[in-house]
Structures are given as structure tokens and as C-alpha cells.
Amino acid sequence: MYRGRFAPSPTGPLHMGSLVTALGSFLDARAHRGEWYLRIDDIDPPRHDKSSFESIPLCLERHGLIWDGSIILQSQRQEAHENYLSKLRDNNYLFDCLCTRATLGEFGACVSNCRGREDIEGSVRFHLPSNTPQTINDLFLGEQQAGSLPENFIVKRRDGLIAYQLATAVDDLDEGYTHVIRGEDLLQSSLRQMVVHQTLRRPSPKYGHLAIVTDEAGNKLSKQTGALAVDTEAPSANLRHALAFLGQPSPPTDMDCVSDILHHATINWRRDALNRRNL
């Protein structure tokens, strides 16, 4: 059975780019009679906006994007994350790194001799095996080249926090997701997480990457670029805008009810339209 999820970080209210991703993942799940879950990826407390823990679910509810089960908090999985970290270390996939941001190489990789040193304390990095795949078979876009992947990446930060790549990789496995629909800016992250799955000898979910919403300057919408919060008082208009961006058929002009718009979008969902760039 199809099992998908939307996993925002609680760093601020949802913006239009977030809503597009949420809607795309929701519709792909519902169109395939699947389940859709909400996980809050709250493993980076210094970046948290406490109000997000309420505003994100509220925004989704206002737009009719109702998840199955209870809200999942990634922070409740810390013990499991540490167990996976130990398993990867036991199999010689990890090494400790003392490099600072200024001394890292291209793409943020450690290029010094940290891997050959012992008894050092710093961040923990995952070393990619030589047979790491460089392509991914995307549900919407077909085979995609991820470009040059760095030789290693952080799985535990110097401050002791588990990094996004490891937490997301193992949580997606243990929570049983069969499909992960996310923005195309996370294509390399998908490949890194697939490598973690491979080393754990577990099958990866199927990945589909959606076009990202940008501002007039071509920058991805984000809190850092000043993206405006979604107007929760205009859910129907927001859904129409998001559907247009995703290249989906427009609901009838006289259709204003959120549930009707979502029903129309679900039964008319077209994956083949997602490889276009709209608006």
C-alpha cells in the first residue's frame, strides 16, 4: 500500500513553496488510494520557531490537507538515530572530523586526513562507498543525474545533534514510507539517503521531485529570502494557484469549496504534467 508523508521543519510558517510540496505529496498519495502522514522534522532546536508547531498543522487543515494518524515528531526518535549511528560506525562507514566550515572542500566535504585519525572529537561523517549511484529514477522526471556527490557528508554535528541526512533516511525506513515526494532541490539529499539505505541493506522508497517555487529573482522561496506566509484566509485561491504551478487541470471556476477542489484534483491527478515548469 502507498504510504507517503510531508515533513516540514518548524522554522516558520508555511509559504507557497511549502504548500505546493504538501499538495503534491498529498494528491499523489490520495490518487493512489494511499495514506499520507505529517512529520515535523524538529531535530535542529536552534532554528525552531515555536509557533510553527501550531501554525503548520493549522495551515494544512485550512487547505483540506488532512493527514492520517497522529502528528509525528522526529525529535522523539533520538534513541533510534543513535542506534543507527552505532550500526554504521561498526561497519566502518563513519569517521570523526575536526574540519571547520572554512577548511572544508567543495560541496562541504572533508578533504583532509581526518578519516585516518583516531581519538578525535568533532562532527561525524558518512563516507560514500565507491559504488554510490549518481542517478535516481524519478517518478515524475525519469532518470535524473544528481551531479557530483561529495565523498562524505555529516551525520552528526559537532554540537551533538543528529544531522538531517541520517535522521530522514532512517525515519523514512522505520515509518514505512513507500513514496517520498519532495522539492527538486533535495535531489542530492535523496541520493545520499538512498546510499544510507543501501548500506543498511534496506530498500529505499520511490522518490518524486517537484519543481520548486521561486521569487522574481529566481531564488527558492524560504524564510531566508523573506517568503510570505500562506494566507490561510484564502485556501481555495491558494489551492488553485498551487495546482496551476503543478500543471494540473483547473477546477471549474464556480468550485469554491476546498474539499471539492481537492476531490477534483485527486481524480484528475496527472504525474506526466509534473515534468513541466509552470507559472
At 204, which amino acid appears? S
Sequential DSSP letters for 45-109: GGG--TTHHHHHHHHHHHTT-PPSSSPEEGGGGHHHHHHHHHHHHHTT-EEEE---GGG--GGG-
Q: For 190-240, how does the pLDDT look when each residue is reduced to its tens digit (9 = 90+)? A: 999 999 999 999 999 999 999 999 888 788 888 777 789 999 999 999 999
Answer yes or no: are the C-beta atoms of 170 and 81 closer than 8 Å: yes
Torsion angle in degrees (nearest 10) through CA of 23, 25, 27, 31: 180
Distances (CA, A) of 62 to 55, 56, 59, 233: 10, 10, 5, 8
Q: Is the pLDDT reported for residue 104 higher than 70?
A: no
Sequential DSSP letters for 185-252: GGHHHHHHHHHHHHHTT-PPPEEEEEPPPB-TTSPBP-TTTTPPBP-TT-HHHHHHHHHHHTTPPPPP
Calpha distance 56→63 (Å, rounded): 11
* The model scores a pTM over 0.85: yes
How far is CA 187 from its chain centroid?
Answer: 9
Calpha distance 110→74 (Å, rounded): 27
Would you place residue 5 in the very low, low, confident or very high pLDDT band (cuts 50, 70, 90)?
very high
Of all residues in the chain, what percent carry a pLDDT higher than 90? 76
Q: Which of 46-60, 117-131, 132-146, 204-218 has the highest mean pLDDT?
A: 46-60
Q: How many CB atoms lie within 10 A of CB 217?
A: 6
Q: How many CB atoms lie within 10 A of CB 33?
A: 9
First to last CA, the chain: 33
pLDDT of residue 67: 99
Of all residues in the chain, what percent carry a pLDDT higher than 70? 91
List alpha helices for 91-213, DSSP H.
164-174, 187-199
Q: For 163-197, how does the pLDDT look when each residue is reduced to its tens digit (9 = 90+)? A: 999 999 999 999 999 999 999 999 999 999 999 99
Phi and psi (nearest 5°) for 60? Answer: -60, -45
Mean of the per-residue pLDDT values of the chain: 91
pLDDT of residue 133: 78
More confident residue, 148 or 40: 40
pLDDT of residue 279: 40
Calpha distance 276→260 (Å, rounded): 25
pLDDT of residue 116: 63
Rg of the chain's alpha carbons, rounded to an integer?
A: 19
Hey, what's the cell of 42?
524538529
Answer yes or no: are the C-beta atoms of 71 and 40 closer than 8 Å: yes
Domains of the chain: 3-275 (3.40.50.620)
Provide the β-strand partners of residue 5. Answer: 37
Hey, what's the cell of 23?
499538495
Phi and psi (nearest 5°) for 248? Answer: -90, 155
Calpha distance 199→164 (Å, rounded): 17
At 72, which amino acid appears? I
Residue 18: which H helix or E strand, with range?
Answer: helix 16-31
pLDDT of residue 45: 94
Q: For 31-40, how does the pLDDT look when each residue is reduced to its tens digit (9 = 90+)? A: 999 999 999 9
